[in-house]
Amino acid sequence: MKKFACVIFSLIFALCLCGCSPVKSQVKSVKVILFIGDGMGFNHVANTELYYGEQTYFSSFKTKLKVQTDSLDSSDGETPTDSAAAATALATGVKVYNQSVSMLNGENLTSITELAKRKGIGAGVVTSDTLYGATPSAFTAHATNRNKTDKIIESQLNSPVDLLLGSGSYYLSKTYAKKFKRKGFSLYNTLSSTNVNKSKVLGGYSSVIPENATDERPTLTQLTVKAIEYMELHYPNGYFLMIEGAYIDKQSHNNKLLEAMQNVRDFSSAIKTAESMVTGEYSIIVTADHETGGLQLAQTKSEISNELYTTTEHTTANVPLYYSSSLADIPGELLVENGVIDNTAVFYLCKNLLVV
Ligand SMILES: [Zn+2]
């Protein structure tokens, strides 16, 4: 009996050696790039295509879904999400109240960038907004309110992310430059000086604009080139990158359609650039956090005007999701019904792809 038990134990031990214990070198991830067009609804995309007379790059992606964007404030059936709660859902898979930055009931929610870094793969955030804006903050910080700028930046100092690129001269101020350098970051404020060979990179430019770029004011596409160069160099085995086009939302709040469409076009160009540069196994997810402006669809180019907006606020409309991958299609279990997924499912999609 003793001998039999010993054989069984040896067998279990042997099985564990072969199958149970993960061998680190065999842990392989993929490259996941999540593009968030802030405020970008279906009609922002369609009107842009009509206006410029060409398809956006991502609208030719094979997989197209709809995303439901409600936050915990939306239970009244009419309050739309804000960017903080929506980005938190995308970054952590948890619905929170508006204004919250990856926190619920006083607790920090673990984000996809934190999971990626725990696994030892790369993680970075690129935005045309300030780096302490609601969307990039949900991927790099924890705060009870999106308006607590200093609290957010202090939290970002403890974020494990490798790369931060966006509008952010404030980060290069006396107060913060020293602190970020102490955390190992190399700091830059022009595109040409931004050195992707450095181990951790913070690019804080005076602004990020969709057209007529300068060295101090690059486009989202130019920042995307830097980000992919960095990740391909340092993390060829896998990384997570979030890239946000923030001004589709901001211009839509102002009901400025031409300016919003210029930003959709730069966003599209950034996605095309990313797919042309990424190597190996990858997935590119393009979605929005919510719709802004209740934008109506023009039937002809001549109908395109600011009058197509019906509000200066966010709406509860579903937003599009486009998916391109070297791997299999999106798993069907993420679907709610009729091609609709919940915004929290985007987090689980990234998590499953990255195996984190
Ligand atoms: Zn907004």
Most confident of 2-6, 29-33, 105-109: 105-109
pLDDT at 177 over 60: yes
Which residues are within 8 A (CB) of 272 and not within 5 positions of it... i.e. 6 or more apart? Answer: 57
Residues with Cβ < 8 Å from 9, sequence gap 6 or more?
none
Residue 18 pLDDT class (50, 70, 90 cuts): very low
Average pLDDT, stretch 167-188?
A: 94
Percent of the chain with pLDDT over 70: 92
231-274, pLDDT tens digit by residue?
A: 999 999 999 999 999 999 999 999 999 999 999 999 999 999 99
CA 256 – ligand 1 centroid, Å: 13
Using the mean position of ligand 1's atoms as its centre, give its distance from the Cα of residue 330 in Å: 28
The pLDDT confidence band at residue 334, using thresholds 50, 70 and 90, is confident
Give me 169's structure tokens: 């001269």
Q: Are strands 31-37 and 239-245 parallel, antiparallel or unpaired?
A: parallel
332 or 323: which leads in pLDDT: 323
**Looking at residue 29, what is its pLDDT?**
76
- Whole-number Å distance, alpha carbon 7 to ligand 1 midpoint, is 64
Tens digit of each residue's pLDDT (9 = 90 or more) over 314-325: 999 999 999 999
Ligand 1 centroid distance, CA of 66 (Å): 19
Q: Is 103 left (phi over 0), alpha (psi -120 to 50) or beta?
A: beta
Whole-number pLDDT of residue 318: 97
Distance 55 CA to ligand 1 centre (A): 25
Q: pLDDT category, 20, cuts 50, 70, 90?
A: very low
Q: What is the pLDDT of residues 192-209, one digit of tens each?
A: 999 999 999 999 999 999
Q: Quick: pLDDT tens for 30-63.
A: 999 999 999 999 999 999 999 999 999 999 998 9
Residue whose C-alpha is closest to residue 135's, from 170, 111, 162: 111
Angle at the Cα of 71 (from 335 to 49), degrees rounded to 5?
65
Ligand 1 centroid from CA 289, angstroms: 9
Q: Give distance in angstroms: CA of 130 to centre of ligand 1.
A: 14
Q: In angstroms, what is the span from residue 249 Cα to ligand 1's centroid?
A: 5
CA 139 – ligand 1 centroid, Å: 17
pLDDT tens per residue across span 113-146: 999 999 999 999 999 999 999 999 999 999 999 9
Q: What is the pLDDT of residue 331?
A: 72
Average confidence (pLDDT) over 7-18: 38
- Write down the pLDDT at residue 28: 66
Strand 335-337 to 340-342 pairing = antiparallel
Domains in the chain (CATH in brackets) are 28-163+238-354 (3.40.720.10)
pLDDT value, residue 171: 92
Q: What is the pLDDT of residue 24?
A: 36
Q: Provide the mean pLDDT of the chain.
A: 91
Helix-then-strand count for the chain, H and E: 11, 15
CA of 278 to the centre of ligand 1 (A): 30
| pTM for this predicted structure | 0.91
Q: State residue 336's pLDDT score.
A: 74
Centre of ligand 1 to C-alpha 35, Å, is 16
